[in-house]
Structures are given as C-alpha cells and as structure tokens.
C-alpha cells in the first residue's frame, strides 16, 4: 500500500512538472509572438513624425548657389542600381574602391526624373569617383569633399538635361577600399 501511494505521488509530481514546463513554453511562445509583432508593426507612427516641427523641416543649407533649389517635399531616396567599383592611385600601389550610393531628392516628381536619368548620373559619379586618390579616401575630410563634388557634378548634369537641380544630397551608404 505504501508503494502504491508513492507511485501515485510520483506520477502526480511528474504530471505537475510536465504541466509547468508546458505552461512555461506556452508563455515563452506568446512573448516571442508579441515581440515579433511589435518589432515588425512598430508603433504605427510614420518614421518622419519624430521631427519637433511636425515633419515640415526645411532642407539644409548648402554651399552651392541654390537659385534653382530642389522642390520642397518629402525626402525620398533613390538608390543606384549597382555599387561603383573603380581603381585609385595610392602610396605604394593602386587600390580598388567600392562605393554604394543613394541620392536624396524632394518630391515624387523629382524621384521619377532622377530614376529616368540614372545612366547619366552613374556616368557622372563614376567620373568623379575615378578622379580621387587613395589618400583622399582615407580621411573623413576627403570623403566629405568627394561627396560634395559628386553632388555638385550630378546637379550640374541634371540641370543641363532637365532644367532642375533635382538631387539634394549624395549619400555614401557603403564604402570599401582594398
């Protein structure tokens, strides 16, 4: 009789353990699902509503004459379809550089015009990038100077074709030099 009571208590204890393990696993699954939904859905607010003035910020001041400044509107980014790969002279040897670029434009009409003229933009950027040296690309100042020169040349090329300076910024989203 004592043995039967011990077996019943043992099986009852293992049932409780299994039930606790299953409840803990279910709780973990629920927490993971909540986290995944929160992560992918987010707070539901647009990313640009974090500005203090309600998202109506003016474009940053530039050093180039902005008599034909880009139109004011939502900032949109046009990615170049391919990364730019080119050789630059260096101290001891030539170096290979890869730069991934996106262009910031204002308004959907500017975005469409820029997309239509991507071959012109790619050619202009490749010309600018190929004229740099490894020493320039090693420093932050050199990268900023290259980015500004690229912006200026792209804006000039687009001005000739479209009559507008569509590109507000040239952004380097990736840069590797070997």
> Burial, 21: exposed, middle or buried (Cβ in 10 Å; 0-12, 13-18, 19+)?
exposed
Please write down the long-range contacts of 91-95, taking CB distance under 8 Å and 24 or more positions apart: 91/134, 91/135, 95/134, 95/177, 95/178
Mean predicted lDDT score pLDDT of the chain: 78
pLDDT in tens, 133-175: 888 888 899 999 999 999 999 999 999 998 888 899 999 999 9
What Rg value do the Cα atoms of the chain yield, rounded?
A: 29
Residue with tokens 């009571």: 5
Domain 67-177 is found in CATH 3.60.20.10: no
Q: Kindly state the tokens that stand for 138.
A: 């090693």
Structure token pair of residue 35: 């986290």
pTM for the whole thing? 0.57
Overall average pLDDT of the 94-122 stretch? 91
């Amino acid at each position: 009789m004592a043995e039967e009571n011990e077996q019943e208590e043992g099986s009852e204890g293992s049932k409780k353990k299994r039930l606790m393990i299953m409840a803990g696993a279910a709780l973990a699954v629920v927490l993971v699902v909540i986290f995944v939904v929160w992560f992918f859905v987010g707070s539901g607010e647009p990313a640009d509503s974090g500005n203090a003035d309600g998202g109506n910020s003016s474009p940053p001041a530039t050093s180039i004459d902005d008599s034909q400044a880009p139109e004011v509107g939502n900032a949109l980014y046009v990615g170049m379809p391919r990364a730019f790969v080119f050789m630059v002279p260096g101290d001891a040897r030539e170096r290979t550089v890869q730069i991934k670029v996106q262009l910031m434009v204002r308004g959907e009409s500017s975005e469409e015009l820029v997309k239509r003229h991507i071959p012109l933009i790619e050619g202009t950027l490749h010309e600018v990038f190929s004229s740099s040296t490894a020493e320039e690309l090693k420093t932050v100042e050199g990268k900023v100077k290259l980015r500004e020169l690229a912006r200026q040349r792209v804006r000039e090329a687009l001005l000739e074709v479209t009559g507008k300076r569509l590109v507000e910024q040239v952004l380097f989203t990736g840069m590797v030099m070997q």
